[in-house]
Amino acid sequence: MQSVLNTVKGTALNVAEYLTPVLKESKFRETGVLTPEEFVAAGEHLVHHCPTWQWAIGDEAKAKAYLPKDRQFLITRNVPCYRRCKQMEYVGEETVVEEESGDGGWVETHQLNEDGTSAELDQKICELTLDDSKEEMRTPDSEQAGAINAEVDEEDDEALDMDEFEESGMLDLVDPALATTMRELEKSENSKVKGDNTADSGDSVLHTRTYDLHITYDKYYQTPRLWVIGYDENRKPLTVEQMYEDVSQDHAKKTVTMESHPHLPGPNMASVHPCRHADIMKKIIQTVEEGGGELGVHLYLIIFLKFVQTVIPTIEYDFTQNFNLS
């Protein structure tokens, strides 16, 4: 039901964007919005300081007349995503610790006993066990060698004749180093076969995903808009549900929805809805000005990428400039 509503809203907004006139006068400081010219200026600053971002043209049939032909939107490719959002959720118990001085408390993630030790930690340590079982290295003639060594131990006083030693076959034993190498090769081949057999059935290993990120200009909201599309380790596109695994669960299917890209044909892409972008930017501008500073419009996309990171926290794209509100 939610997807149907998102589709209807997306269609209505496309019509509204088509009917909305292009913003000509700058209202950046008053409302936190951008003109197309300011969007291009902020994009030039991002590309200059972060070369992983580049301008893209897209489909010429979908080119926007209010933007330069060679600067339709911004793109960065192969951004790593090592974890799923669920892995960032902390499930441990928290304890509020009060200070005697009355200055306040803090949150402690582990409860300690009176003697300074952790009961939970001690319990987990006691549960640890060591597995002493090791696979012994055997050669084809190991049993025969063992029998001869036993006979030598029983006859310490009698030296072993070299002719008998040679006839016993001890000189033809496999070199231990060679035997170890062969065993490692066998294990490697077995692991490859096992990996092939379990690839389709699914395993517990989360392989590295990569994402392509796009920044477009939304004429209706007059702000930048972020789009993402993900790939697995074989560069195969992720499914919709897989991409939602890399989105904060507070924003999945609400702030982040699947919609058609304004500059590219093909399947829908995940997009961070821009309805709140201008309000957030306006608050940031006010905070900077209250601290006696001034925020230039060229920094818009640098700041934009930082507050959008809360929506997609595991996609590690933000290697831009540091920014201080004070």
Would you name the residues annotated as active-site residues?
275
Between CA 145 and CA 137 the distance in angstroms is 13
d(CA 80, CA 4): 31
Residue appearing with tokens 């974890």 = 83
**Residue 223 and residue 226: Cα distance in Å, rounded?**
10
Say if residues 278 and 33 touch (Cβ distance below 8 Å).
Answer: yes
With a CB cutoff of 8 Å and minimum separation 6, the contacts of 272 are 225, 226, 227, 228, 251, 255, 256, 308, 311, 312
With a CB cutoff of 8 Å and minimum separation 6, the contacts of 273 are: 225, 255, 256, 257
239 vs 237: CA distance, rounded Å: 7
Two tokens at 104? 């306040």
- Contacts (Cβ under 8 Å, ≥6 apart) of 97: 105, 106, 107, 108
Nearest by Cα to 44 from 300, 326, 220: 300
3-state class (DSSP) for residue 258: strand
